Amino acid sequence: MKLRFTKMQGAGNDFVVIDATQAPVHLSHTQIQHIANRYFGVGCDQLLMVETTDTPGIDFRYRIFNADGSEVEQCGNGARCFVRFVVDKGLTDKREIRVETASGNLTLTLQDDGQVTVNMGAPRFAPAQIPFEAEAEATAYELPLEDDTVTISAVSMGNPHAVMLVDNVHTAEVALLGPQIESHPRFPQRVNAGFMQVLNEHEINLRVYERGSGETLACGTGACAAAVSGIQLGTLQSPVKVHTRGGILTISWNGSNSPVMMTGPADIVFEGDIEI
Ligand SMILES: N[C@@H](CCC[C@H](N)C(=O)O)C(=O)O
């Protein structure tokens, strides 16, 4: 069977987007892994499935799958690409769109300059899926690894993140520490591992080793989690410009239960059909 797809990217985090608004599309783990494979498939960090919904006041539903086939709760760069997709494909003429995800509803706005702003909702600091004993907000936790102990902040943006401070992201041991943090026993659902270098109180460099996809050029929820943890720790102030390997994201957060706002690019790269 041939499957029509659109390849997109947001700050270099790349996606295969499937339009399932006309008819349902069911893909197995193996089919998603094949599509995501950069040698034998299309290649992507995540696959996004755009669907309709009957929920009042909600325009679409969209589902997110990592390159390893696992379905996840949230994806910041994917949310921006989702908006560009439904607008560019003529699936809506709205510029402010409400979408249902596995971790709640989001409001997304397509700006006149083509950038997309996403209201990512409020962060959580003791997320249920991260069983730290302490309840304190934005506390830094010691995490013992194979040959080292690192200090991380645990932040949920709907999906789980462990953010650590590093002196220099370019030399940080992302490939070594990322997989150890991702599958650490203290994170039964696994976790996205962020490596943050503070440049000044409004600017950071960030690399993220993503759960289920490995290191990506950018991670939207990772950028939100890093900015939030830095603001909570008192080293950053909103807004925070996040420099990733694939582009710049701007994160604003007024603290406590206020929503995290993320702004950044989203573009279509090409379209095609793949045999699955
Ligand atoms: N790239 C994404 C996050 C995708 C999901 C993540 N790998 C997870 O497993 O939670 C983003 O832009 O937020």
Quickly list DSSP for 104-123.
EEEEEEE-TTS-EEEE----
Quick check: is 231 in a domain? Answer: yes
In a domain, 67, yes or no: yes
pLDDT at 150: 95
Q: Relative to the CA of 222, which ligand 1 atom is closest?
A: 13
- 144 with 251, same domain: the answer is yes
Q: Are residues 242 and 147 in the same domain?
A: yes
CB 204 within 8 A of CB 240: yes
Q: Is 144 part of a structural domain of the chain?
A: yes
At residue 136, the 3 state secondary structure works out as coil
Q: What is the pLDDT of residue 139?
A: 66
Position of tokens 């969209």? Answer: 62
Same domain as 80, residue 54: yes
**Claim to verify: residue 44 and residue 94 sit in the same structural domain:** yes
Q: Is 205 annotated as a binding residue?
A: no
Mutate to test the pocket of ligand 1, among 49, 63, 74, 81 (most ligand atoms within 8 A of CB): 74
Which residue of the set 44, 75, 81, 224 is catalytic?
Answer: 75
Spell 188-221 as b/e; 16+ CB within 10 A means b: eebbbbbbbbbeeeeebbbbbbbbbbbbbbbbbb
* Substitution candidate for ligand 1 out of 8, 72, 182 with most atoms within 8 A of CB: 72
The number of domains in the chain is 2
The one catalytic residue among 44, 81, 219, 224: 219
Range of the domain at 16: 2-112+266-275
Residues with CB under 6 A from ligand 1: 13, 45-46, 66, 72, 75-78, 159, 192, 210-213, 216, 219-221
> In terms of domains, do 170 and 222 share one?
yes
Q: Do 27 and 67 sit in the same domain of this protein?
A: yes
CATH of the domain at 217: 3.10.310.10
174 phi and psi angles, rounded to 5 deg? -65, -45
Answer yes or no: is 27 within a domain: yes
Segment 54-60 long-range contacts (CB within 8 Å, at least 24 positions apart) = 55/100, 57/98, 58/98, 58/99, 58/100, 58/105, 59/86, 59/92, 59/94, 59/97, 59/98, 59/99, 60/21, 60/86, 60/91, 60/92, 60/97, 60/99, 60/100
Q: Is 125 inside a domain boundary?
A: no
Distances (CA, A) of 2 to 41, 43, 273: 13, 16, 6
Whether 119 maps to a domain, the answer reads no
- Are residues 202 and 270 located together in one domain of the fold? no
* Structure confidence at residue 274 (pLDDT): 97
How far apart are the C-alpha atoms of 217 and 112, rounded to whole Å? 25
**Is residue 59 located within the same domain as residue 169?**
no
269 Cα to the center of ligand 1, angstroms: 20
pLDDT mean values, one per 10 residues, the chain (276 residues): 97 98 97 98 98 98 98 98 98 98 95 97 70 52 92 93 97 98 92 98 98 98 97 96 98 96 98 96
Give the side-chain half-sphere CA count within 13 A for 217: 14
CA of 76 to the centre of ligand 1 (A): 7
Is 100 in contact with 75 (CB distance < 8 Å)? no
156 and 93 share a domain? no
- Does 130 reside within a domain? no
Q: What is the pLDDT of residue 141?
A: 82
Does the active-site annotation cover 75? yes
User: For residue 61, is it within any domain?
Assistant: yes
| Residue 219 annotated to the active site | yes
pLDDT at residue 20 in the model? 98
Counting from 1 in the atom list of ligand 1, the atom nearest the Cα of 213 is 7
Question: Do 107 and 145 have their domain in common?
Answer: no
* Residue to mutate, 16, 47, 66, ligand 1, most ligand atoms under 8 Å from C-beta: 66
Residue 108 sits in the same domain as residue 167: no
Are residues 186 and 166 part of one domain? yes
